[in-house]
Amino acid sequence: MNSALPLVSVVVVNHNGLIYLQPCLESVLACAYPNLEIVVVDNGSSDGSIDYVRSLASRKSVKLVANPTNLGPAQARNQGAALAQGKYLAFLDNDTVVDPLWLNNAISVFEADPTIGACQCKLILQNTDRVIDCVGEYLGENGFLVNIVRLGEEKDAGQYDDTGEIFAAKSAGTVVRKDVFDGAGGFDGDYFIYMEETDLCWRIWLQGYRVVLIPNSVVYHRFGTSSLIMPEKINYLVQFHNTKNYISTLMKNLGTKNLFLILPQHLVAWLGLTMYFFFTGKFRTAQRVFSGTMWNFTHLCATLKKRRAVQRSRRVRDGDIFPRIMRKKGWGYYISKFRTPPKFGHGTGWQKGE
């Protein structure tokens, strides 16, 4: 172990994903970075995942948190971060495989630039000819996310090989300074799943740090595994939690002026989407989107308490960071994203009519 390099804690959350978890952890154990520990947080698996992780304990510093039930990725990642001893936290989804130099390349950039709080690793879709999964996201003027690359749209030909600023990273492959993670308050455990990394990255920006893409830190990701592991739940998880968390993220993190400018049009969009689903006969989807919207009103006091904490701790104004993290897109862009399913994987839960 090379003590000259900072310790990195690799945090992986798992729920009945043994078939994916095994190649993920094997790739981490085989990577070139010499000073790391692995923290696996298992959310109530019954497929042998826990026994497998325990069998790895003798090979390297591998820690296990075994939850009796599925707490969701947000809470589970916080559990892993609380147990971690590293200077850096590297979050991976269990359906990823890492490039051998993944951590070496990321940590060298972090160590050279203390203004970087978090990074997006370049996510490449597994079993493709280097088709890009994600290289980060920007914030749209209406509060919705703008993908730098839409899933499955482009091959990696070096067009995103600059270390540039982004708004938010996808937690399937991201690295965060642990002190910055703690200072920003970690993931919001009420999110359960979806948008939790966006919310965290926003708070990292508000703390005065930057979020960047580190393109030579490469992680290979399988898309759509959640729909294979828990097909009966994926529609609900996407449609309810995505709606709920989108709105909550804006309510907590926008400055006062922009809250009144952006949130109303954002709410109108969700209510319009509810009506669209209702009048096209997708009643369960309409109910979930409406419930996700209304959750923010029934939990308004709790959200406002979180907002006060975020606004008190912020060190920069919206006007200082919006020119760097915001991109303008017309409504047609978002309608196209919603109506056209991804080219790879098993869908996102929006395209399935029910």
Do 176 and 79 share a domain, yes or no? yes
Last residue of a domain, one of 227, 257, 272: 227
Do 124 and 210 share a domain, yes or no? yes
Per-residue model confidence as pLDDT tens digits over 322-336: 999 999 998 888 888
| Within a domain: 330 | no
Do 32 and 169 share a domain, yes or no? yes
Tokens representing residue 343 in the block = 């080219």
Do 93 and 73 share a domain, yes or no? yes
| Within a domain: 343 | no
Do 185 and 49 share a domain, yes or no? yes
Do 241 and 218 share a domain, yes or no? no
Residue 281: which domain range? Answer: 231-318
Do 146 and 269 share a domain, yes or no? no
Where residue 213 sits, what CATH number does that domain have?
3.90.550.10
Could you give the number of structural domains in the chain? 2
Do 114 and 198 share a domain, yes or no? yes
Digitized pLDDT (tens) for each residue of the chain, 354 residues in all: 455 899 999 999 999 999 999 999 999 999 999 999 999 999 999 999 999 999 997 776 899 999 999 999 999 999 999 999 999 999 999 999 999 999 999 999 999 999 999 999 999 999 999 999 999 999 999 999 999 998 888 999 999 999 999 999 999 999 999 999 999 999 999 999 899 999 999 999 999 999 999 999 999 999 765 544 455 567 888 899 999 999 999 999 999 999 999 999 999 999 999 999 999 999 999 999 999 999 999 999 999 999 999 999 999 999 999 999 999 998 888 888 776 656 654 445 555 545
| Within a domain: 217 | yes
| Within a domain: 1 | no
Do 237 and 222 share a domain, yes or no? no
Do 253 and 213 share a domain, yes or no? no
Do 183 and 244 share a domain, yes or no? no
| Within a domain: 193 | yes
User: What strand order describes the sheet that includes 137-140?
Assistant: 145-147, 137-140, 326-327
Do 197 and 184 share a domain, yes or no? yes
Last residue of a domain, one of 227, 247, 265: 227
| Within a domain: 266 | yes
Last residue of a domain, one of 198, 227, 256: 227
- Cβ pair 131, 152 in contact under 8 A: yes
| Within a domain: 325 | no
| Within a domain: 92 | yes
Taking the whole predicted model, whether its pTM rises above 0.75 is answered as yes
